[in-house]
Amino acid sequence: MQITFSAAALPKTGAIVIPVFEDGGKPGAYDDLDKASDGAIARAVKASAFKGKKGKILDIVAPAGLGNSRIILVGAGASKDFAALDAEALGGNAAGTLLAGRDKNAAIALSGLTAKKLAADELAARVAIGAKMKTYRFDKYRTKEEKDDKPVLAKIAVQTASTKAKAVFAEYDRINDGVFLTRNLVSEPANVLYPDSFAKQCQALSKLGVKVKVLGEAEMKKLGMGSLLGVGQGSVRESKLVAMEWLGGKKGDAPVALVGKGVTFDTGGISLKPGPGMEDMKWDMGGAGAVTGAMAALAGRKAKANVIGVIGLVENMPDGNAQRPGDVVKSMSGQTIEILNTDAEGRLVLADALWWTQETYKPSVVIDLATLTGAIIVSLAHEFAGMFTKDDKLAKQLDAAGAAVGDKLWRMPLTKTHDEMIKSDIADMQNIGGKGAGSSTAAAFLGRFIQEGVSWAHLDIAGMAWKTKDAPTCPKGGSGYGVRLLDEYVRANHEG
């Protein structure tokens, strides 16, 4: 998708998108085109229920007197409230309509449109990135798609008086590269994306200046990572640990560490999951996907911060060699774990990934992301990721970052009681907590692998990594949740 910015007159062919506020604000193009079409636009508005409400669309096809294929009016809601995320949603909604049509070329008219909370350059860049986000498709395995079902949209020209929009957009586009990378990783089936092939995709980030290190099973065994290795021992695929280093900040500044759960397929292991819906567990690497995408975003825009991304990659399979319920494993931290359910595997992977990260990089902040529990979906559905932290300042910072980019978070409880729920009869802890508060006991388990003085938050993204229906800036499928959140968190708190 090519996106350009210019103040030039609108093209006489192709589709034209015109945002309309419900309080009457609109770009100059509205009246110009209405006049040129002898009032066709005003007549269409009168004949329809279109009032400029947020998200509403009036698609005027083949307007009389114009060479344009269609005029698409997009509702923008109240102009006084219109902010960055509304502009993105508007761009996304417009793109959704364009993608369903047959136009190769489209223009979005913004000249003359003003919103109190948004400068012209931000307005144009946000509309454009919202549109681009909606154009994502994962279609590499479709060989027989009907021609009419395949989008043809190739170019969007954004009409704006702003001269800075292009540069602002370019930065958002680098972040979006990370979002698209994550969507790709999450969408890949598990026969294609497994620990080794995932690690190879990480290695490709070296072209952005990211230093990538990959540990295999022999190295992890030497390091004593019995917890992570136990999960992967039933799989024929070798487990991997990948570290991605982006050192764009001051030399010697303690880094921020992002740690991701990368279970490339979760059958549950010997505690086998039921069949229906098990295919969803191809995206049980969503946390690792988000960390990888975030590293691509940070490096892509050359963030002035030191950030380390670490992902634990394993496949959880039932097999003659798989670990059993009742097994006891020893983690790299030295702590022992009684495995009571082999399906509570994500925390076992993170236990060693978190410990290794702290030992190796001495980070000041650790944020882990994981599709960790079904229970978080019971609590928060697909609206929020669950945030678990004892650090109020970090909670505030993450909340603010999430709200700014639309990756929403809701803070959940993490207390001593939850920690007591994972006491084991024969080891230092057990990997499940008994009845109730499943997301909090999972977080408490992770907390046992966080070292003194490290500021830590755990984000349970089980409900967010995958969308089962279209959203304004995201078609159904892998969402890329977390990439923009992490990028914004770093930008707002660790740069400059």
Catalytic residue annotation? 273, 347
Burial of residue 224 (number of CB atoms within 10 Å: 0-12, 13-18, 19+)? middle
Please say which residue, 226 or 346, places its beta carbon nearer to Zn ion.
346
Least CB distance from residue 288 to Mn ion, whole Å?
14
Walk across the sheet containing 328-330 and list its strands.
328-330, 336-338, 429-430
Contact region with Zn ion (CB under 5 A), list: 155-163, 279-287, 300-308, 325-333: 279-287
Least CB distance from residue 462 to ligand BES, whole Å?
4
Least CB distance from residue 235 to Mn ion, whole Å?
13
**Residue 432 binding result from ligand BES, Zn ion, Mn ion, none, given CB thresholds of 5 to 8 Å by partner type:** ligand BES
Give the integer Cα–Cα distance in Å for 4 and 384: 34
> Contact with Zn ion (CB under 5 A): which of 86, 122, 177, 284?
284
Residue 263 engages Zn ion in binding (rule: CB under 5 A): yes
**CB–CB of 309/356 below 8 Å?**
no
Residues 260-319 interacting with Mn ion (rule: CB under 5 A): 266
Give the integer Cα–Cα distance in Å for 156 and 14: 10
Burial of residue 28 (number of CB atoms within 10 Å: 0-12, 13-18, 19+)? middle
Q: Which residue is nearest to Mn ion (CB)?
A: 343
Q: What are phi and psi of 215, to 5 degrees?
A: -105, 135
**Residue 341 binding result from Zn ion, ligand BES, Mn ion, none, given CB thresholds of 5 to 8 Å by partner type:** ligand BES
Contact region with Zn ion (CB under 5 A), list: 40-48, 157-165, 282-290, 461-469: 282-290
Give the integer Cα–Cα distance in Å for 431 and 423: 9
Contact region with Mn ion (CB under 5 A), list: 123-131, 181-189, 342-350, 385-393: 342-350
**Residue 352 binding result from Zn ion, ligand BES, Mn ion, none, given CB thresholds of 5 to 8 Å by partner type:** none
Short-list 203, 194, 188, 185, CA closest to 232: 194
Give the integer Cα–Cα distance in Å for 59 and 72: 5
Residue 217 engages Zn ion in binding (rule: CB under 5 A): no
Please say which residue, 86 or 352, places its beta carbon nearer to Zn ion.
352
Residues of the shown chain interacting with ligand BES in the complex, contacts defined by CB under 6 A: 266, 284, 341, 343-346, 371, 373-375, 432, 438, 462
Segment (H or E) for 357: helix 346-361
Residue 266 engages Zn ion in binding (rule: CB under 5 A): yes
Q: Residue 55: left if φ>0, alpha if ψ -120 to 50, beta else—which one?
A: left
Residue 487 engages Mn ion in binding (rule: CB under 5 A): no
- Residue 94: CA atoms inside 13 Å, Cβ hemisphere, count? 35
Q: Which residue is nearest to Zn ion (CB)?
A: 266
CA angle 203, 293, 232 (to 5 degrees): 65
Contact region with Mn ion (CB under 5 A), list: 92-100, 259-267, 291-299, 413-421: 259-267
Q: Which residue is nearest to ligand BES (CB)?
A: 374
Residue 419 engages Zn ion in binding (rule: CB under 5 A): no
DSSP strand pairing (15-20 vs 70-75): parallel
Q: What is the 3-state secondary structure (H, E, C) of 137-176?
A: CCCCCCCCCCHHHCCCCCEEEEECCCCCHHHHHHHHHHHH
Please say which residue, 68 or 371, places its beta carbon nearer to ligand BES.
371
**Residue 373 binding result from Mn ion, Zn ion, ligand BES, none, given CB thresholds of 5 to 8 Å by partner type:** ligand BES
Residue 217 engages Mn ion in binding (rule: CB under 5 A): no
Residues forming contacts to Zn ion in the complex (CB under 5 A) are 263, 266, 284, 346
Residues forming contacts to Mn ion in the complex (CB under 5 A) are 266, 343, 345
